[in-house]
Every structure is written in structure tokens, then in C-alpha cells.
């Protein structure tokens, strides 16, 4: 899949699960399950409930996505 096929959405973390998984409420009133991207794991960027994040979603499965950025 090419990089331009991804859908980027903004949202807020609602709940944190084990293993870097998070429930995210998107700005369009949907919920998705997101996991932390590799660079965020590598640099140990922490995400807490209430943080605003950017999520990349596949157009084929909008229920799961990859967290790529945490807003300050």
C-alpha cells in the first residue's frame, strides 16, 4: 500500500490498554483502536488518556489504526 492511501484523522485517547494499544475517539464521532508506531516506541513517547493524537487509518479497515503523532 502506498503512503498516499492512508487516511489521517485527529482524535483523543479515551482508554489505554496493555502493549501500546489505545481506544481513540475520533473527531468525526467514531471510535477506533490504535497502536503506537515504531518511532514512538523507539523514542519512548508516552501517551496518556486525554492526549490529542494523529492516527493513520487504512481505507480497508477503519476500526484499527496507527498512532503517528502526539500533540503537545
- Which sequence spans correspond to the domains of the chain? 3-70
As beta bridge partners, residue 22 has: 16, 34
Closest to 35 measured CA to CA, from 47, 50, 25: 47
Out of 2.40.50.140, 3.40.1360.10, 3.20.20.80, 3.40.50.300, the CATH code matching 3-70 is: 2.40.50.140
Q: What is the pLDDT of residue 72?
A: 77
Task: Kindly report the pTM of this predicted structure.
Answer: 0.90
Q: What is the pLDDT of residue 1?
A: 66
- Distance (Å, whole) CA 72 – CA 64: 23
Is the confidence at residue 2, as pLDDT, over 80? no
Closest to 13 measured CA to CA, from 67, 51, 41: 51
Residue with cell 503523532: 69
Look at the alpha carbons of 62, 27, 70, 33 in this order and tell me if their dihedral is positive or negative.
negative
Amino acid at each position: 500500500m502506498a503512503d498516499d492511501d492512508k487516511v489521517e484523522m485527529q482524535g483523543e485517547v479515551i482508554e489505554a490498554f496493555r502493549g501500546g494499544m489505545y481506544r481513540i475517539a475520533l473527531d468525526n464521532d467514531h471510535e477506533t483502536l490504535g497502536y503506537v508506531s515504531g518511532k514512538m516506541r523507539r523514542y519512548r513517547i508516552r501517551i496518556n488518556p486525554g492526549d490529542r493524537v494523529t492516527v493513520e487509518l487504512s481505507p480497508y479497515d477503519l476500526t484499527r489504526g496507527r498512532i503517528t503523532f502526539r500533540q503537545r
